[in-house]
Structure 1
Amino acid sequence: MAIELDALIATYQDLHRHPELGRQEHRTAGIVAEQLTALGYAVTTGVGGTGVVGVLERGEGPTVLLRADMDALPVREDTGLAYASTATAVNDDGETVPVMHACGHDLHTTCLLGAAAALVDDEAWQGRLLLVFQPDEEGGGGAQAMVDDGLFERFGTPDVVLGQHVAPVPVGVLGVRSGPAFAASDALRITLYGSGGHGSRPEATVDPVVMGAALVQRLQTVVSREIAATDTVVVTVGSFHAGVAPNVIPDEAVLGLSIRTADERVRTSVLDAVGRMTRAEATAAGATREPEIEALTSFPPVVNDAVACDRLRDAFAAAGRWIVVDPGPVTGSEDVGILADAAGAPCAYWLLGGADPALFAGATTVEEIRALVADLPSNHSPRYAPLAGATLESGVAALVTAARSWLG
């Protein structure tokens, strides 16, 4: 009863055309539940909000958790694909925003559906499959929401947590790294308070736009002057909102920050520096009200288990269809580690190549490949578009190979 590639591509294109923001993945969850039910899985919906869990039991053996995320991003698509998204949604602030699967979660979901079908057809294994289709990875709350909703009390504790993330490296390459593999993530909202007034009389105001602009520049020194060059840190100001008219100085400015770190000591130092610089800029500008620094989301790094990764590398190598590399520490973040931590199970989470290998023709060194990757649209870009068919084939096979390396 395996899903054929054409059907997989059709599912992928449908999910891509109809993306949904975190905690709004109702249509996606319905498609997942329908396909898993047809395959014979015991299916539960509404776990952690919009999460879906499928269970398949085959006698005595280990429980293997395979995880895929389902949510999309507030990005306007610019890929030019025939199945490009034109969808919009209302975000948590009540704003209507464009929505796109700019991170590849539609591909993750489709790959896991394909693996679910392949593992039903494979009668050579014993044990228990626990398929977790998770909401709200981008918001950082989906994994915790499923845990809080009794994921492991209701469906059992896994012996290993497995999953993958598509990346702009060639199809046929898998990236497996032991230890800290994906960075911790902290998202902050900073509100700077000024005193508004007429644009022609700035001397009668405290201008939060200028204050915010100065802070944006100052924050660039967190990495370059506050943290050792050997530590992995990214500080990004992803949004800056202030004012509604060119001749009116507003009362406040709001900045959105994304911080990625790989070490708790460094994370503490970065957050302290951000707070100190924010308060200092407000004081320097003469603000009469303290700025507010609000933590929106926070989740830990993904730490891959060394023994589990060794088993994974051996299984991938034995399959003979992939080039397996150590990608180094990834500054992107993932909340899949929360599932492993809550279960007390080893985690093995890898990168899945999703770029057209033809784009890398002639590259013979790691440096040349990295240079070409840097030129490609990355995850979260409005132009990000994995090579659908070949990536789906590779991703399904990788999930099946990983699961079979644990299932007897």
Structure 2
Amino acid sequence: MVFQPAEELAVGARGMVDDGLFERFPKPDIVLGQHVGPLPAGFIGHGNGPVMAAADSVNITLHGRGGHGSRPEASIDPVLMAANVVTRLQGIVAREVPPAETAVVTVGRLKAGTKENIIPESAELGVNIRAFTPAVRDLVRSAVERIVTGESRTSGAPKPPDFTWFASAPALVSEPEATKTTVAAFSEHFGAQRLLPMPQVNASEDVGVFGEALGVPTVFWFWGGLEAESTSAAFTEGRVDELPSNHSAAFAPVVEPTLSTGVEALVVAALTWLGKV
């Protein structure tokens, strides 16, 4: 059992591997992982192949030349620079990623200045990207740097922008054959009526680092935490977007049957594979 820290920062699994986790403990044959989600409590959500996206975050600093707001001609405005960057970044998915692929580019943080009549020296952006394949991931990362650098140069910035990439996690791949075996065990234990096939999820989970580092299969699933009757009705009526999701202030899983289902799922999965040794 791995008590993985810092999953929300996407650095915990990599930190454990780099700290010698698999040098101190035997190499496992398979990695099993789960996460509570906005599904009916007592239900298991499953998929196979790429089930969650790769994630990368980057802090960007744009450099300008500060001055008085009444004399913009004597300054280089990093706020305008940042505004143009935010707009241009939205074109990556729309115009550079093939329509058959999936990617997300989100600017979650934009910070600049301290007063309305002062043009600041710099502007900061926090950008997050999601993709399912290494090729699209590389394309989007490269496009972000190209667009930001190009806007900076076009604006006459006194020096190039700074990029600090962090919080990277690979796409989470639930190996198809191992997933089939695990889901069959869930079906026998819980009943097929409590299993829900799931589409790919654009959110990310760094548990995939373990299997990637070891070269062993990973099986990953979700289990529900929301009140079952109203949540099932939302699924049936096409109101899934109305349900509170992870990270929402309204996401408050009911204790039962959420807790017991999560424990049972891990135990059933573990016994399924321990029995094959």
Tell me, yes or no, whether TM beats 0.5.
yes
Supply the distance in 2 between the matched residues of 1:312 and 1:168 (Cα, whole angstroms).
21
Which residue is equivalent to 1:401? Answer: 268
Q: 1 or 2 for the larger relative contact order (CA 8 Å, sep ≥6)?
A: 2
- The alignment partner of 2:143 has SS state of helix
Which residue is equivalent to 2:245? Answer: 378
Contact 2:172 2:205 in 1 (8 A): yes
Which residue is equivalent to 2:78? Answer: 208
Alignment TM-score, normalising by the size of structure 2: 0.93
Supply the distance in 2 between the matched residues of 1:260 and 1:359 (Cα, whole angstroms).
31
- The alignment partner of 2:168 has SS state of strand
Give the one of 326, 351, 358 matched to 2:197.
326
Shift of 1:170: 1.2
Q: Does 1:153 align with 2:23?
A: yes
**1:39-58 to 2 correspondence within 5 Å?**
none
Q: Does 1:236 align with 2:106?
A: yes
Contact 1:184 1:261 in 2 (8 A): yes
Structure 1 unaligned runs (5+)? 1-130
Q: Deviations over 1:14-70 (max 9, x none)?
A: xxxxxxxxxxxxxxxxxxxxxxxxxxxxxxxxxxxxxxxxxxxxxxxxxxxxxxxxx
Shift of 1:364: 6.9
Partner letter of residue 159 of structure 2? R
Shift of 1:362: 4.0
- The alignment partner of 1:132 has SS state of coil
Change (3 A) 1:296 1:362: closer
Give the one of 338, 343, 359 matched to 2:209.
338
Q: Does 1:140 align with 2:7?
A: no
Q: Deviations over 1:171-210 (max 9, x none)?
A: 1322222111111111111111111111222221111111
Shift of 1:400: 1.3
Partner letter of residue 386 of structure 1? P
Shift of 1:301: 0.8
Change (3 A) 1:380 1:320: closer
Alignment TM-score, normalising by the size of structure 1: 0.64
Which residue is equivalent to 2:92? Answer: 222
**1:165-314 to 2 correspondence within 5 Å?**
165-314=35-184
Partner letter of residue 400 of structure 1? V
Contact 1:169 1:373 in 2 (8 A): no
CA RMSD of aligned residues (A): 1.6
Partner letter of residue 229 of structure 1? P
Partner letter of residue 356 of structure 1? E
Partner letter of residue 353 of structure 1? G
- The alignment partner of 1:325 has SS state of strand
Supply the distance in 1 between the matched residues of 2:76 and 2:207 (Cα, whole angstroms).
44
Which residue is equivalent to 1:315? Answer: 185
Partner letter of residue 304 of structure 1? S
- The alignment partner of 1:270 has SS state of helix
- The alignment partner of 1:406 has SS state of helix
Partner letter of residue 92 of structure 2? V
Shift of 1:233: 0.3
Supply the distance in 2 between the matched residues of 1:180 and 1:233 (Cα, whole angstroms).
13
Supply the distance in 1 between the matched residues of 2:86 and 2:250 (Cα, whole angstroms).
26
Supply the distance in 2 between the matched residues of 1:358 and 1:201 (Cα, whole angstroms).
61
Q: Deviations over 1:346-390 (max 9, x none)?
A: 11010111111122354574xx3xx42211222122332222222
Structure 2 unaligned runs (5+)? none
Supply the distance in 2 between the matched residues of 1:382 and 1:297 (Cα, whole angstroms).
23
Which residue is equivalent to 2:221? Answer: 350
Partner letter of residue 251 of structure 2? Y
Contact 1:162 1:349 in 2 (8 A): yes
